[in-house]
Chain A
Amino acid sequence: MAGMTTYIIRRLLFMIPVFLGVSILTFVISNAAGDPIALIRQGLRSVPPEVLEALRAYYHIDKPLYVRYLYWLWNILHFDLGRSISGTPVIDKMGAWVLTTLELQIPALILAVIIGIPIGVYSAQHQYSKSDVLITSFALFGYSMPTFWLGLMMIIVFSLHLGWLPHGGAAGIIRIWWGSEFADRIAHLIMPLLVLTYVQLATFVRLMRGNMLQVLREDYVLASRACGLKERTVIYKHALRNAITPIVTILGLSFGSSLAGAPALETAFNWPGLGYQFVVATFSLDIPMIVGITVVITIMLMVASLLTDLIYAMLDPRVRLG
């Protein structure tokens, strides 16, 4: 496994430029919006001079931008993301927000894989049949759907008109749905989860169908059929194994794109995760918060893509040796 170790090291080293790139970009552009202290003073009637002095020292306002960035980088190595405009440390908020976002993203990804793979295989097995056409167009619509808009449509129908489900948020505030606290969370989760699952499902179905069609044309499938193996064995034991490997790469990619797209879906459902909070922070130009959330999202993306690559390298030796 010597190849694997160097592969992991190479892969870990690659995370450094990505992290630096994103953090420098976010840091510079958000600081370009204006003097952080002037932004804090907006809406305050009068600020005592000593407070102003303390803020100046805190933000190292007299130093050039790259020194401020280095200070920020030094702090982040000590798990300190700075304080938001409202005064709370940014890092304190992150845990809850990350969990809220993952509460939506991870079940959606799992459901999409579990449902998408069998549907894709079925669709490939019955290529050009009526059910295949139906499945393909269903997937194509999911692929082309503005996620947040589908969410809005579901809110109009299922919560504003039928009143079956709550129209936003992650938990009931005025009214607890379906009795218990746990059931209430489920009730809030259902619609955003369905929307996200459908959109991701489309990707997996399309990919699985394409892979399966390609694999079914291979000689070894023909050979195993010629040997008189049952169709079930050919499909599920021999063809599926090869068709499923590329799915692993898409797993990380799909998670990444849906995480990056989180601002839209979470805003449509008022789901208080990272994406929603990012939109809020960006509107109020809360610089430490903006940089903090972007960095956390980037780290999550990098971890997801690292895990995917490692799993892929374990499955396919050509990757780690190449």
Chain B
Amino acid sequence: MQRETKTESVAPSKRDVVDVRRRGASQWAVAWRRFKRNKAGLAGFFIILFYFFIALTSPWLAPYPPRSFQALYEGEAGQPPSWKHPFGTSRAGLDVYSEVLHGTRGDLYVGVGATLVSIAIGMIIGALAGYSRGTGSDILLMLSQVFYTIPLLPLILLFARVFSVLVAKGFGLTLILILLGVFGWSTISFIVRGEILRVRELDFVQASRALGASRWQIIFRHIIPNILTPVIVTATLLIAGNILTEVVISFLGFGDVNTSTWGITIEEGITYMRTEWWTPVFPGLATLFAVLGFNLVGDGLSDALNPRLRD
């Protein structure tokens, strides 16, 4: 209680004082408060929540199972949007509404999963590059730069094609997830390395080292909290990019034919898109808004977590 009155006299603006009284202002509470003020970021947050809700509930929400051509047998293939088929049906008999719902699950799985793989690899390589000195550090930095420069999409397409020849079935979306993750870690590793080099030279870290803090104490108390914020921002934007790439991969026909994704539905709608426009339109819109949501949250987070922009 005493502490709060103290803060009141120090606090620069009225709003901060009110907030401090309500709860102890941890780093995350402050960030969330700043994030909430950003309307666009908040909109993105709700878009993402909506998509995750659909991804979790799609088996119950969707009227048809994934990759089901049942509408063909009901004599309703190639029909425009109606009450029974809100997004219409494709010429082959797919219910586009069900496919979009099931695709949400597949695409979020790839987008989020690949990002987690990238974070794991990028953290390890970035940390090693930041902590080692001399040749080892140079080699790791060069490795990151090679992965940053190479044309990712062509290589991923090639890997996906070759794996589909070698391992005919059963790999599916997880293969795409692993490929995207393994190729996409370079930005994360740059950030981690840069932050380590910056943070370990800061005065207070030097001071705690001088006071006898061990290497691990410094890593957990100082380095990780500092790395976390830029990594979270990059990861959010990376999810958006991974979803886009996954849609491109399955659109080009290099994805998994047995799983519903937005890209594959677009691809299957191309042939008759003049008359049956609904087949490519709705999965594309789903992609657009999913990517938009993650981009909005990424931008909002980078504003909220960036201490230099604090007013």
Contacts and interface: CB of A to CB of B under 8 A. Distances in A.
Interface string A242-263: 0000000000000010011101
Contacts of B162: 29-30, 32-33, 285
Interface residues of B, number: 39
User: Of A146, A156, A275, which is in contact with the most chain B CB atoms at under 10 Å from its CB?
Assistant: A146
Interface of B: 142, 145-146, 149-155, 157-159, 161-162, 165-166, 240, 244, 247-248, 251-254, 266, 270, 273-274, 277, 280-281, 284, 287-288, 291-292, 295-296
Nearest to B248: A264
A192 to B, nearest CB: 15
Contacts, number: 127
B153 A264 contact: yes
User: Of B150, B152, B248, which is in contact with the most chain A CB atoms at under 10 Å from its CB?
Assistant: B150
B296 to A, nearest CB: 7
B266 A144 contact: no
Interface of A: 14, 17-18, 21-22, 25-26, 29-30, 32-34, 140-141, 143-146, 148-149, 152-153, 155-156, 160-161, 256, 259-261, 263-264, 267, 275, 278-279, 282-283, 285, 290, 293-294, 297-298, 301-302, 305
A135 B175 CA distance: 38
Contact of B151 (A144, A282, A285, A301): A301
B233 to A, nearest CB: 14
Contact of B149 (A155, A264, A285, A305): A305
Contact of B154 (A33, A146, A285, A293): A293
Nearest to B309: A214
B244 to A, nearest CB: 6
User: Of A22, A161, A263, A297, which is in contact with the most chain B CB atoms at under 10 Å from its CB?
Assistant: A263
B153 A261 contact: yes
Contacts of A161: 274
B297 to A, nearest CB: 12
A157 B3 CA distance: 65
B252 A267 contact: yes
23 contacts: A14-B145, A22-B151, A26-B158, A34-B165, A141-B292, A144-B295, A146-B247, A146-B288, A149-B247, A149-B280, A149-B284, A152-B284, A256-B151, A260-B153, A264-B153, A282-B157, A282-B161, A283-B161, A283-B253, A294-B151, A301-B149, A301-B150, A302-B149
A30 B153 contact: no
The 8 A-B pairs with the shortest beta carbon distances in the complex, nearest first, are A149-B284, A144-B291, A260-B151, A160-B274, A144-B292, A33-B162, A264-B248, A21-B146
